[in-house]
Structure formats: C-alpha cells, structure tokens
Amino acid sequence: MASELAVHRSQLRVRYAETDAMGVVHHAAYVPWLEVGRVNLLRAAGAPYGDIEARGLLVVLSDLQVRYRSPARFDDLIEVQTTLIALKSRQMAFRYRVLLHETGATCVEGMTSHIVVQRATMKPVLLPVDLHDLLVPWLVRE
Amino acid sequence: MASELAVHRSQLRVRYAETDAMGVVHHAAYVPWLEVGRVNLLRAAGAPYGDIEARGLLVVLSDLQVRYRSPARFDDLIEVQTTLIALKSRQMAFRYRVLLHETGATCVEGMTSHIVVQRATMKPVLLPVDLHDLLVPWLVRE
Amino acid sequence: MASELAVHRSQLRVRYAETDAMGVVHHAAYVPWLEVGRVNLLRAAGAPYGDIEARGLLVVLSDLQVRYRSPARFDDLIEVQTTLIALKSRQMAFRYRVLLHETGATCVEGMTSHIVVQRATMKPVLLPVDLHDLLVPWLVRE
Amino acid sequence: MASELAVHRSQLRVRYAETDAMGVVHHAAYVPWLEVGRVNLLRAAGAPYGDIEARGLLVVLSDLQVRYRSPARFDDLIEVQTTLIALKSRQMAFRYRVLLHETGATCVEGMTSHIVVQRATMKPVLLPVDLHDLLVPWLVRE
C-alpha cells in the first residue's frame, strides 16, 4: 500500500550558506533537509517532535544513507518527499527523495533509522503506544 | 597594558563545507571560529567553558560585530587571535582578529559581548568570583 | 518615510540542526536567516540575487552586527523583517528584526553592509543603474 | 593488507556550534568531519584537494553512509581515522571511524564514494594517472 497520501511533501528554498565552492549545494547541507521532512511528517501525523521531547524522550538517529544524483543550486525551490518505511516497538525508519520542484529532477535519495531513548539515561525505550498509533496510517510497507 | 601574552592564538584549517558559491568562506562560517578562539582562551585561563556550564551557568552572547576585510579560502591555515577586552561583574567582551597564517593578511575583525545567566531560569547572574579572578590576567584594557 | 510596504517579511521554521546544547538556537544560525530575508527582499524588488551573479557581479558582505534579545527554539515559526536602509553607488545596507511569529517577541536585531564587486577581479564596482532603480522604492531613510 | 600506515588520523575538537538541543553533537555535524579526514589523507598522499581543483576537476560525493554508535559532546577531542578502500579509474571510496581520543569509544562509522568530474561540464572523467599513483600506497583492500 504505497499510498500517495502517506508521502509527506515539504518545500524549502536553497540558502546561499548551503552552497560550497563547487557552486552547488554542499553534500552535508542535504542532511538537515531530511530532518525538515521528517519533522514535518511527524507534525502532520499529530505527533510534533517537540511534544515527544517534552515527555523526556529523544528520537535519535542511528543510521543515515544518502545517494547523490544531481546537484541543487542556490535559490532552487526544493521538495523533500518523506515516507515512513518502518515502525517497530523500538525503531523507526524513513525514506526521502529530495527533488527540484521546477523540473522534478531528483537531487538525492536518503534513508534514516531512529531509536527512541530516555533523555535522562540515553537508554533505548519502547515507542509510546499513542505515538505508534498516530504513525501507523503513515507507514508504507515497501 | 596590551600585553602580547594576553592575546590567545588558535589555529584551524578552512573546511570545504565552510566555503560558498562565491568560492570563498561564507560570512556566517567565521562566527563559529570566533567561538573557537574564545573557548580556547577560557581553557588557557583555567576556566574551561564546560566547567562553567557544569555549575548550571551559561555564558550567552548578547552582541556580535564582524568586519570583513579579505576572504579566506578552502584549506587556508587560519589564526584566530582572541583578546578579553571587558570583564565586569555581569558582562564580558572579546575582540578577535582572524588572519591567514601564511601571509598575515587580516580576514575579519570581530567583537562579542556576553552575559552570564543561570541555565534553569535564563536570568542574568554575577560572574562567579573565582572565574573572574582566573580571567583578570587576560584582560587587556584598550 | 518608514513605509510599512518597504519592510519585507520572510517566514521560516527553526530546524533542529540550528539549535545548540543550550537548548536554543545557536547564535551563528541567525546569520543565514538574515541572508534569507535579504535574498527574498531582492527577489521581491525584481532583482533576484542569482541574476546579479549571472552578470559576473557579487554582492559581498562587509559588515555584520547582531544584537541578541531573546532566544528562539526548535520548531518556532520565525519572521524575518528586512529593510533596505542605505543605497549608494557602491554600497548598500540592510536592517533586520527577527521575531517569533506567535508572540511578536524580538529574537535578534541585525544590520549588514555590502559592496558590489566584479567576480573575476574581486574589485569593487558601481551598482548597475537598473539594479539601483529597482531598489529605490524599497529604500527606507532612517 | 590492512596496514596501520594506510590509516590516516586527524584530530579536531568539537565546537559548541556543532552541538544541538539534545546536548550532543548534531548528526549532520559529523559529515564535514569525514571531509576533514579525507582532505587530510589526500594532502598526506601528496595530492592536496586544492591542486585537484586547480586542474579543473572536482571530486564529488556520490554516496554517504553513517552509522551512529555513541554521542560526542562539546569540547571532546575527536580522532577521525580515514582509510581509502577503493580506487578505480573513475571512482574512489573511503571508510571512516570517528572516535573519542580520550577513551577510544567509537562515535560514528562512515563510508563515502566519489567520482571525478570536469568542473566545466560536470561530466565524469578518468582519475588522472599521477593522482592514481599517489593514492595507490594508501589503498587498503578489505
């Protein structure tokens, strides 16, 4: 069920500070964009990340993969497509496509995995049931 | 008493990620370099910033001024010269010169002001006396 | 003539990557936000910054001042108010107010000065007349 | 032949600007550290990256993988261990281990792949033979 509804779309515009001396966006600058997509998906799901932290939990990143296809440039309008692809009791994962809004060209494809930890101890804990239930409708099994 | 001893010198090398599409270091990238200089001066004075935070205090930046003279580029070896220019019961200020190590050319000149606040309340507090005393020898009255 | 029309308003949302261990936005992270405001004002004026660079010109930052009033935090909706306050044959300057959209609280106030240089030589040149004319309606004399 | 000589070691200290509201280093901040390690290995091999760009070539990143093991914190002294693990006519790859200098604890493990392109056209080209020869002694077949 790769529902189009479950793909969250965020838009942002490339900042000059995100470019490098190659004249294009620096490869590290895409990583916070994936975070923007993920945070916006959580908000859309009714589980804003700030609320998760307010419970004393952190959702920490355990794994990051990015494949670079074609460069984005200063002032390009960017779309970040975010999909929740795994949702387990202790782990979740997202897939991303970052593309140029104007042409649809793919800039990067990415994947991140996350675990939930208690802020005080940094020990892994179960994803709270209500958060799990809010995220289930967004899950796309691949 | 503008003692040369009181000028702290830090070295760093320009990272590719700090450049922008102009082919030079992005103006915002110099700001963390001033922080590197300041943090190293505090450590040299026997008052590492981590220890200050461990007491429940934060030294927050209240004012920043940077004048850009000539650009630094990827892989340049940079020297950050940091001087403590004000030390009061509730406020301190630093002056900076960022230069190319090889030629001595000045890239930027900067100034930052800071206040001490309690982390829990974010309210200003007095600079602890022992910290003040550790910093006095570094003070250069202009 | 401090026309309200001449104040450009940009909105952005605080990214987690822009926060620091104090739990608030790192002071250096505001600097690219000023750039966002400035770039958006230029686009609104009909002089997108990319077009300026396409002529072989760069608008380089020569002076930066930021006063920090109260912290912004992760996920805050931010408004950047940008005003063109100087427009001369070889120099321009902008003033900024960065505020929390929800409460109107001022986070930082800033000012930047800029000169126009030829990309090939990095030497200052006159601001082209057509750019000057596009920007005149946005000028607010203080 | 996983020669210890072929592992390049860089040191750096965590900047406050690299931390986030979790109180630890933000996951995106490790990515420029991998670049620091890679750039330093190239310099040690006699092929400084600036020289490569001076020939009109760019070494662009095509693939990034990072596994996060344990967090680094402000002011930690970091060691980046970089190993060249693939060297082909059109592609190279590096492996990284980022660790705390004091305890030896692994913070992250990473891998990057790169292709060489002509700056003017952004089209892939062969790695110049002299660069290839300089890098051969650093290659560790896994």
Q: Look at D22 and A58 and tell me if their CB atoms are within 8 Å.
A: yes
Residue of A nearest to D31 (CA): A28
Which residue's structure tokens are 């922080």?
A: B35
* Nearest Cα to Cα of residue B17 among D9, D44, A19: A19
Rounded to a whole number, what is the distance in Å from the CA of A89 to chain B's nearest CA? 33
pLDDT, position D104: 98
Alpha carbon distances (Å) from C112 to B63, B65, C85:
14, 10, 10
Q: What percent of chain C has pLDDT over 90?
A: 94
Looking at residues B7-20, what average pLDDT do you find?
Answer: 98
pLDDT, position D4: 57
Residue D47: both structure tokens together = 């092929």
Closest partner residue to B28 (CB to CB) among A17, A21, A24 is: A17
Looking at residues B20-30, what average pLDDT do you find?
Answer: 97
Tell me what the pLDDT averaged over chain A comes to: 95
pLDDT, position A1: 43
Closest partner residue to B17 (CB to CB) among D17, D35, D75 is: D35
Q: Look at C21 and D26 and tell me if their CB atoms are within 8 Å.
A: no
Closest partner residue to A50 (CB to CB) among C31, C48, C74 is: C74
The sign of the CA dihedral C126, C130, C136, C139 is negative
Q: How confident is the model at residue B141 (pLDDT cuts 50, 70, 90)?
A: confident
Tell me what the pLDDT averaged over chain C comes to: 95
Residues of A with CB under 8 A from a CB of D: 21-22, 27-28, 31-32, 35, 53, 58, 60-68, 71, 119, 122
DSSP letter at D90 equals S
Round to whole Å and give the CA distance between D39 and C20: 27
Query: Hey, what amino acid is at A95?
Result: R
Sequence-separated (6 or more) residues with CB below 8 Å from residue B23: A21, A23, B73
pLDDT, position C87: 97
Between chain B and chain D, the number of residue pairs with CB atoms below 8 A apart is: 38
Residue of C nearest to D20 (CA): C20
Residue A115: is its pLDDT beyond 60? yes
Rounded to a whole number, what is the distance in Å from the CA of B17 to chain A's nearest CA? 6
Closest partner residue to B74 (CB to CB) among D15, D16, D50 is: D50
Looking at residues C34-55, what average pLDDT do you find?
Answer: 97
Global pTM value: 0.96
Rounded to a whole number, what is the distance in Å from the CA of C140 to chain A's nearest CA? 25
Q: How confident is the model at residue C113 (pLDDT cuts 50, 70, 90)?
A: very high
Question: Best of D38, D52, D64 to disrupt the A interface by mutation (most A CBs within 10 Å)?
Answer: D64
Q: Look at A28 and D35 and tell me if their CB atoms are within 8 Å.
A: yes
Round to whole Å and give the CA distance between A138 and A45: 7
Which chain C residues have a beta carbon less than 8 Å from that of D21? 16, 19-21, 23-24, 73-74
Whether the Cβ atoms of residue A30 and residue A38 lie closer than 8 Å to each other:
no
Residue B4: is its pLDDT beyond 60? no
Question: Best of A20, A25, A27 to disrupt the B interface by mutation (most B CBs within 10 Å)?
Answer: A20
Q: What is the pLDDT of residues A62-102, one digit of tens each?
A: 999 999 999 999 999 999 999 999 999 999 999 999 999 99
Looking at residues C68-84, what average pLDDT do you find?
Answer: 98
Tell me what the pLDDT averaged over chain B comes to: 95
pLDDT, position A142: 78
Residue of A nearest to B74 (CA): A21
Bridge partner list, D66: A64, D110
Whether the Cβ atoms of residue C46 and residue B83 lie closer than 8 Å to each other:
no
Whether the Cβ atoms of residue D49 and residue D92 lie closer than 8 Å to each other:
no
Low-confidence residues of chain D, pLDDT below 50?
Answer: 1-2
Q: What is the pLDDT of residues B55-102, one digit of tens each?
A: 999 999 999 999 999 999 999 999 999 999 999 999 999 999 999 999
Helix (H) or strand (E) holding A40: helix A30-44
Q: How confident is the model at residue C5 (pLDDT cuts 50, 70, 90)?
A: low
Rounded to a whole number, what is the distance in Å from the CA of B130 to chain A's nearest CA? 30
Q: How confident is the model at residue B1 (pLDDT cuts 50, 70, 90)?
A: very low
